[in-house]
Amino acid sequence: MSDQRRNSEITVKPLGYALGAEVLGVDTSAPPAPDTVSAVNALWHEHHVIAFRGERLEPQDITAFAGAFGPLDDHASTPFYRHQDFPELLQVTNREIGGKPSETRNTGRNWHSDYAYTSHPAAASMLYCDTRPPVGGDTMFANMVRAYDTLSPKMREILDGLDAVYDISLTAGFGQRDPQQTAETRRLNPSIAHPAVRTHPDSGKRALYVSERVSHFHGMTIAESKPLIDFLCAHATRPDNVYRHQWAEGDLVCWDNRTTMHLALTDFDQTQPRHMLRATLLGGQSGFIVE
């Protein structure tokens, strides 16, 4: 559907203590009106992760809705996993892609923010659940604003002066993927450093930007960096700072990659189908290539 629709009154239902909320009263099957975009963005900035549930969306519906919130990434940095007809959609699936086992069937198995290993880290992601296994396959989200705010003033001061180096090879399971594809993906995505603390361009909130895909801090050795990376990841993923989303078919879950990180759990039978489509809101240019 291409027409813009006005929505009924928008309401919100918190889903977690630290982050996460269900948004009701929004029609996701059509591009939202500007006032709806503004209202949803305000809720998004407040809750970091928002969910629309019980949707029935086609690929064109997802791209039309997501595109109202900003320009969409064409996923050129990971070209092998795109939807064949909609490059703005990444397939997160254990179905075959191109007649071969999907390389994204085990994606997201460590804590991360999407496309942090690129020069344009994802601003936000919108993941639609088309098919899910009978049980499991949950996703965990961590509030990185709260993670930063609950550090000591001295630790915040230290981190404000650091750049974190991201390496795509630290993506869980990356080394088990097709060798030719991984070689090309590495070529497209050399190691890059981003500030360890980022300021959200709209909300002004400061958030920790360190995940399990950080190899080290620029100017420090891997051995020097590892204890600090481990501490920060453990601090950020404390139970009181995490929301666990139990997927249902028809869920459209949207998260801000500048203020959250997430983890896809392996707690499901891989012989059962799990098929999702992700639209990625393009982020601004950031960081510098590390030789």
Per-residue H/E/C for 27-84 = CCCCCECHHHHHHHHHHHHHHCEEEECCCCCCHHHHHHHHHCCCCECCCCCCHHHECC
- Asked if residues 57 and 42 have their Cβ atoms less than 8 Å apart, the reply is no
- Would you say residue 5 lies in a domain? no
- Asked if residues 189 and 117 have their Cβ atoms less than 8 Å apart, the reply is yes
Residue 276, domain extent = 11-289
In this prediction, residue 174 carries a pLDDT of 67
Cα–Cα distance for residue pair 289/22, rounded to 1 Å: 38
- Would you say residue 246 lies in a domain? yes
- Would you say residue 3 lies in a domain? no
- Would you say residue 158 lies in a domain? yes
- Would you say residue 250 lies in a domain? yes
Q: In angstroms, what CA-CA distances link 211 with 28, 83, 170, 231, 259?
A: 31, 27, 10, 10, 12
In this prediction, residue 4 carries a pLDDT of 36
- Would you say residue 279 lies in a domain? yes
Could you read off the pLDDT tens digit of each residue along the chain, which spans 291 residues? Answer: 333 334 459 999 999 999 999 999 999 999 999 999 999 999 999 999 999 999 999 999 999 999 999 999 999 998 888 999 999 999 999 988 778 788 788 788 899 999 999 999 999 999 999 999 999 999 999 999 999 999 999 999 999 999 999 988 877 566 666 788 778 888 888 999 999 999 999 999 999 999 999 999 999 999 999 999 999 999 999 999 999 999 999 999 999 999 999 999 999 998 999 999 999 999 999 999 997
Q: Is the pTM of this model over 0.85?
A: yes
The residues pairing with 11 across neighbouring beta strands, listed in sequence order, are 24
Determine the distance from the C-alpha atom of residue 191 to the mean position of all C-alpha atoms in its chain, rounded to a whole number. 19
- Would you say residue 132 lies in a domain? yes
Those residues whose C-beta lies under 8 Å from the C-beta of residue 42, and which sit 6 or more positions away, are none
> How many domains does one find in the chain?
1
Q: In angstroms, what CA-CA distances link 238 with 70, 113, 137, 138?
A: 31, 17, 20, 17
**Quick one: tokens of 15?**
């889903």
The single-letter code of the amino acid at 32 is: P
- Would you say residue 181 lies in a domain? yes
DSSP label at residue 285 = P
- DSSP-derived 3-state class of residue 282: coil
CATH number at residue 187: 3.60.130.10
Q: Where are the alpha helices (DSSP H) in the chain?
A: 34-47, 59-67, 144-149, 153-159, 179-188, 222-236
Cα–Cα distance for residue pair 86/79, rounded to 1 Å: 12
The residues pairing with 112 across neighbouring beta strands, listed in sequence order, are 262
